[in-house]
Each structure stands twice: as C-alpha cells, then as structure tokens.
Structure 1
C-alpha cells in the first residue's frame, strides 16, 4: 500500500519496501506541533522533536548563521511543525512554523537522525556553546 497522498498528512503506513541502506519505514506519524514518530521494519522507533528536525533539515536555509566557518542554526527551541506532505514513496516535506519548508526528509535520513539523535543533539549543543549561541530565540528589545 503506497503512502497516503494528500495536501497534508498526519500518518503514513508503508508496507512495501525498497532496497535501502537503512530498514524500511513502516509508519510515520505527525504529532503536531512538537514532534514526529517514525517506525521502521527492524523495530526501530524514534520520537523526533520539531527543534531537532528543524536544525538538521537537509535544505540550505537563509536563517542559518555562519560562525567560524560552521553553519549553525540557533534559536529554534520552540519551533513547531505545521504540516507534513508526502514526497513520492521516499520521504516527507515538513512545514515548520518559522516558515521553513524546503527540506525533504527521506526515510533513510529520518532513520539516521533517529539512530544518532543523542550524539547529534549533544554535538549541536556543544557547537552553540562554543559560539555563544542559544537554543532559545533571541529576545525582543523593548523601546
């Protein structure tokens, strides 16, 4: 059964598999606005936060800051996911409430993000600290 086709999705169940490096996706569920859940054939289950998905979006982004030659996205602790759109049989495009929508998350990439979540998040927080940046959005200045 192919993924559900539609403008926005909440859940995809996939029973066919393609030859891939990673296990095939069996279920994708959007738990808007704060996370997605992904299930894989090998029993892998990952709950991925909107912040984590936003900072590791596979697309180039104009809201990224280059610090010391590193590309760093910061201030996204409270970002949310507004919708998810299937892209073929291989991935999903997420629309975040900061209006970022150009990244396509393939099932393989979601598996990579899930299986490496703790290491990648730890490295991200270290990078922010190294450059004096925060996961929190910048505060508005009062006049």
Structure 2
C-alpha cells in the first residue's frame, strides 16, 4: 500500500457504522466518499506490528479469518479506531488515512491477499 492518495490525507470520517449481520464496517468521509469494508478484509490488513512486522519482509500472512467478526470499535484520539475482533486481535490502530486507503484500494488489496493465500497453500477458513 505505497503512497497515500492525496484526498486521503484530508478526509475525515463523518460516520462509522458496524453492520453485524453483513459483517461490514461502513465508513463515510467528509469528502462524500463511503466505503463498506468486510470484517475479514479489515482483519487481514491489520496495521498491527504482529501482522505487518517492524520492517518490510517481516509480514505474517493472516489465515483462517473468513468468519471473524468485530465485537466493538474503540476510538483512538481524534485520528483512528481500534477494532476488537472475535479472534482476540485488538492491537491494530486504523487511522483515518489507512481506512480511506483500504476503502479506495479494496479490490486490488483483496486480490493481492487471495493470491498470497494461494501461493502459501493457505485458507480463509479456520482449521
């Protein structure tokens, strides 16, 4: 996820809604854009150090997350949220810029993730 889109640096959420039945987080930004992000997608693209590592090449592929849900979201200052996931993961801090970027590049990022799973012989389903 190289380089932020110019608009993302300026966009601030005006509404964040958890949709438990459809397993999606809906986020509307003050620039009028709205994204509906699946919980699984948010979980596998967590910005936490345990998944991303501390430098390039230290990433850990997130597997078995198809059924994960978001139990709640916690505000982090005026710049981010911390989702608490049903698999116990709660260390990812999702800044407004990151959430905007995840929404804007959802399709590309999802295809990258699926290709990584295939290459690793891994599954979206828990074992």
Q: Give TM-score scaled by structure 1 length.
A: 0.74
Name the structure with the higher helix share: 2
User: 2 CA distance for matches of 1:129 and 1:21?
Assistant: 33
Match in the other structure for 1:14: none
CA contact (8 A) 2:25 2:36 kept: yes
* Unmatched runs of 5 consecutive residues or more in structure 2: 1-7
2:13 counterpart of 1:25? yes
2:24 counterpart of 1:38? no
* Unmatched runs of 5 consecutive residues or more in structure 1: 1-19, 139-143
Q: 1:99 aligns with which of 54, 66, 88?
A: 88
**Aligned residue pairs, count:** 115
Q: Give TM-score scaled by structure 2 length.
A: 0.83
In the superposition, relative to structure 1, how do residues 135 and 22 fare at CA in structure 2: closer, same or farther (>3 Å)? farther
User: 2 CA distance for matches of 1:96 and 1:55?
Assistant: 11
Q: 1:118 aligns with which of 104, 107, 118?
A: 107
What is the alpha-carbon root mean square deviation over aligned residues? 2.0
Name the structure with the higher strand share: 1
The 4+ residue runs of structure 1 with deviation greater than 4 A are none
Larger Rg: 1
